[in-house]
Amino acid sequence: MHPILRDRRTLALYLLAWLAPGFVLAALLATTAGVSRDGAICFSLPVMIVYAFMSLSAWYVCRALPLTGANITGTLLSLLCAALFSSALWLAVCFGWASALEWMGPGLAPKETYAASLPLLASFGVGLFLIAAAVHYLIESLDTARRRERDGLQLQVLARDAELRALRAQIDPHFLFNSLNSISALTSSDPAAARTMTLLLADFLRMSMTFGGLEMICLEQEIALVRHFLDIERVRFGDRLLVRTEIGEDTLSVKVPPLLLQPIVENAVNHGIAHLPGGGLLVLRAQRNGSSLQILIRNPVDPERIKPRGEGRGLHIVRQRLLHVYGAAGRLEVQDTGEEFIAYITLPHLL
């Protein structure tokens, strides 16, 4: 649909803009053709409104003849021919309206002044059509720019969603492989524990598939997933794995990405507490801080361990997910004191 005809307000502004050349034409007719001021206005304004609608056809010409083409000379010549043709049709309208005015009000706008003003009207018609074409080229270029921007943003959103799905998909096998290895080790040493761990793993995977398919879940649901995971790990470590949760009641309804905490908690168990003969205490704390949610995960580590180079896979996944969901406002910061490993997560936009 024609961009000017899409909205009544835009059409009204377009027609009002055409009144300006109508008054200019009336002034020229009154000074050069000897027509009275009232007669010139009665003649000029109606024919100018008609020509405003006729000039809407310039949009279709502009779309058929884009200025980006290689044959710019041919495009300009085609526009000039369209302007001459449109002006000729408009001159016929002018003649018809001048005849009607002479019949309705003799002497108001004498028809013989039409012939004397023919060069003026013809040049006016050609010039206005070319101006209309230039305006339509501008509108078309703006529409094209908006479409490209919209398409670019849509592609960015699709790419972000695809990457988020890929990052989320990496969490399940990462945890699953570790759990299956643990079950395999328990089958020979403690079959009953292996069976318990298998059942707990099935429940955890069922929950993670339910919540993992959602864009966001409540922190209460995320904590339930973490507790399920820790129940599985407690089968392996028994009393060596101690857990303390300090979750503020006002944080439970906050929306967070699903399976966000599980890789960090898994790291805390497998890379921290698992290497301590006496085990240790894992602390999980969540609290509001103004307009943000702050989550802390703290676990002891062996001070004599060999520190890995760079950042682990789980932390990398969490960082990437925070970046894609929250931008720079979502942060994961870690602190290794030598005896403790602390992860701080800051989430903006409490939903």
Question: Domain segments of the chain: what residues?
Answer: 8-152, 190-347
Among 11, 94, 85, residue whose Cα is nearest residue 52: 11
| Dihedral sign from CA coordinates of 285, 320, 347, 211 | negative
pLDDT at res. 329: 86
Please list the alpha-helical segments (H only) found in the chain: 8-32, 37-54, 58-64, 72-104, 112-116, 118-189, 191-212, 219-237, 262-270, 313-326
Q: Kindly state the tokens that stand for 275.
A: 């290497």
pLDDT in tens, the chain (351 residues): 676 777 788 888 878 888 888 888 888 877 776 677 777 788 788 888 888 888 888 777 777 777 765 677 777 788 888 888 888 888 888 888 877 877 776 665 556 666 667 788 888 888 888 888 888 788 778 877 888 888 777 666 655 555 545 445 455 555 677 678 878 878 888 888 888 888 888 888 788 777 766 778 899 999 998 998 898 888 878 889 999 999 999 999 999 988 889 889 988 988 889 889 899 999 999 999 888 899 999 999 988 776 665 556 778 878 888 887 888 888 999 998 888 999 999 998 655
- CATH (residue range 190-347): 3.30.565.10
Per-residue pLDDT at 297: 96
Give the pLDDT confidence score for residue 243 in this predicted structure.
94
Neighbours of 213 (CB within 10 A): 11
Contacts of 38 (CB under 8 A, 6+ apart): 108
Q: Tell me what pLDDT residue 270 has.
A: 84
pLDDT of residue 105: 67
Cβ–Cβ < 8 Å for 237, 182: no
Predicted pLDDT of residue 86: 86
Contact between 334 and 318 (Cβ < 8 Å):
no
Phi-psi region of 143 (alpha: psi -120 to 50; beta: other; left: phi over 0): alpha
